[in-house]
């Protein structure tokens, strides 16, 4: 996995949490031999603990060297803290058939034991860390996923850190955008006293997203948390273009105009305020979009999303929404 990370562009400072363990002696008890000698695992454990760790042999009361406090006395074999493999095999164990050596009851071999054990969801893990440079996080995660799946790893893996934060942020922003669309639709449905008319106005958002995506591609920005916030803001801004045009069209129709004449008159009347508000928003976001200061790359995508969305929404709203309104008015005259 570390080699896969190293072969992926945009990653640096790759390291893992695995630390080679400390040398240790492993004692594996032979159950058949225990049965033959009429001994138990507890007999082996007690003899081993007494030889290596020591066994309590009393208490030295009022120990002067311990400032008058009591001192526990433990007795163990000489050199028990530095036993090698042969010394461990020679530890005596008392059994039902007399005293035998530990090596007669168990296999003693050298091994390596872990210094620390990391677990996630009760499973042992090795954590591989790296830093990201010059590439979008989402793009790197997709490439790593493809390489890891192709490698046929026997162990499972999952991404964490910024990758988890990114997925959580995208999910939360998608929920926020969906909720905002629903609330806007419900509000317009109450104001227009219709569940069908607000549907026309909802086309302003996809018309704005066209310009937002185009500006991101043109400026080499990515879809990230800030650009998603820009789409959320843009939804509220582009809403007023369709609302201004649609509301005035319905007002003129209530005064007796035909649908086609009302659409043309509303377009003429609302053209100037729609352009003025859109141009004000675009110019106001240019300083943020063109910022070159340190850290500005994190917020310029939001500005370009708003600029692109306002431009295309303003142009297409004046062309697409009137055509859509007339078509739906012809198909469903009683609902508008």
Q: What is the mean predicted confidence (pLDDT) over 69-76?
A: 83
How far is residue 88 from each of residues 7, 39, 107, 195, 325, measured CA to CA in Å?
Answer: 47, 18, 10, 85, 91
Distance CA 231, CA 212 (A): 8
pLDDT at 48: 86
Query: How far is residue 187's CA from residue 119's CA, in Å, rounded to a whole number?
Result: 49
| Stretch 198-214: mean pLDDT | 83
Question: Quick one: pLDDT at residue 173?
Answer: 82
> How large is the angle between the packed helices 137-151 and 162-192, nearest 10 degrees?
120
Cβ-proximal residues to 334 (8 Å cutoff; 6+ apart), any chain: none
Convert the pLDDT of each residue in 113-123 to its tens digit: 777 888 888 88
Range from 46-50, 200-204, 253-257 carrying the lowest mean pLDDT = 200-204
Confidence grade of residue 147 (pLDDT, cut at 50, 70, 90): very high
pLDDT score, position 101: 92
Domains of the chain and any CATH numbers? 2-19+120-160 (no CATH), 22-44+58-115 (3.30.2090.10), 176-331 (1.20.1640.10)
Q: Is the pLDDT score of 196 beyond 80?
A: no
Q: Where are the beta strands (DSSP E) in the chain?
A: 11-16, 22-29, 55-63, 69-75, 92-95, 98-101, 106-113, 119-120, 123-124, 128-132
Would you state the pLDDT for residue 77? 81
pLDDT score recorded for residue 114: 75
Greater pLDDT, 277 or 81: 277
Residues pairing with 94 in the sheet: 99
Biggest CA pair distance of the chain: 116
Region 205-216 average pLDDT: 87
**Residue 79 φ then ψ, to 5°:** 75, 20
Give Cα 134 to chain centroid, integer Å.
20
DSSP state of 135: S
- Read off the pLDDT of each residue in 223-228 and give the average, rounded to a whole number: 81
Question: Is it the case that residue 187 has pLDDT exceeding 70?
Answer: yes
Asked if pLDDT for residue 297 goes beyond 70, the answer is no
Q: How confident is the model at residue 81 (pLDDT cuts 50, 70, 90)?
A: low
Using the structure block, give the residue that is written with the tokens 């998608």.
Answer: 174
Q: Among the ranges 69-78, 166-175, 187-196, 303-312, which has the highest mean pLDDT value?
A: 303-312
CA pair distance 92, 215, nearest whole angstrom = 81
Per-residue pLDDT tens digits for 240-278: 778 888 888 888 988 888 888 998 998 888 888 888 888
DSSP-assigned letters across all residues of 193-213: T-SSHHHHHTTHHHHHHHHHH
Say how far residue 274 (Cα) sits from the centre of its chain. 40
Question: Across residues 211-234, what is the average pLDDT?
Answer: 85
Distance of CA 246 to the CA centre of its chain: 41
Tokens at residue 38, please?
A: 């009429």
Instruction: Quick: pLDDT tens for 16-35.
Output: 888 777 888 888 999 999 99
CA distance 304 to 211: 9
**Contact (CB, 8 A) for 117 and 42:** no
């Amino acid at each position: 996995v570390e080699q896969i990370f190293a072969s992926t562009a945009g990653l640096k400072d790759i390291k893992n949490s695995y630390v080679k363990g400390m040398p240790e002696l492993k004692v594996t008890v032979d159950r058949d031999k225990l049965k033959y000698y009429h001994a138990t695992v507890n007999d082996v454990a007690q003899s081993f603990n007494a030889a290596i760790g020591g066994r309590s042999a009393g208490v030295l009361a009022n120990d002067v060297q311990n400032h008058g406090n009591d001192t526990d006395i433990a007795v163990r074999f000489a050199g028990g803290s530095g036993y090698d493999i042969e010394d461990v095999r020679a530890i005596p164990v008392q059994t039902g058939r007399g005293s035998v050596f530990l090596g007669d009851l168990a296999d003693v071999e050298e091994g390596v034991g872990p210094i620390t054990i990391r677990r996630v969801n009760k499973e042992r893990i090795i954590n591989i860390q790296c830093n990201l440079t010059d590439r979008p996080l989402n793009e790197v995660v997709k490439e790593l996923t493809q390489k890891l799946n192709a490698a046929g790893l026997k162990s499972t893996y999952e991404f964490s850190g910024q990758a988890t934060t990114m997925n959580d942020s995208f999910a939360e922003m998608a929920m926020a955008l969906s909720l905002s669309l629903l609330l806007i639709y419900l509000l317009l449905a109450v104001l227009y006293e219709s569940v069908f008319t607000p549907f026309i106005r909802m086309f302003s958002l996809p018309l704005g997203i066209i310009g937002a995506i185009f500006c991101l591609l043109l400026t080499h920005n990515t879809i990230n948390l800030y650009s998603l916030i820009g789409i959320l803001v843009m939804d509220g801004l582009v809403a007023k273009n369709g609302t201004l045009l649609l509301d005035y069209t319905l007002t003129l129709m209530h005064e007796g105009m035909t649908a086609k004449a009302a659409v043309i008159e509303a377009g003429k009347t609302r053209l100037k305020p729609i352009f003025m508000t859109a141009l004000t928003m675009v110019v106001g976001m240019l300083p943020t979009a063109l910022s070159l200061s340190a850290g500005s790359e994190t917020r310029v995508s939001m500005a370009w999303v708003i600029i692109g969305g306002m431009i295309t929404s303003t142009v297409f709203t004046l062309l697409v929404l009137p055509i859509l309104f007339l078509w739906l008015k012809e198909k469903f005259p009683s609902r508008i």
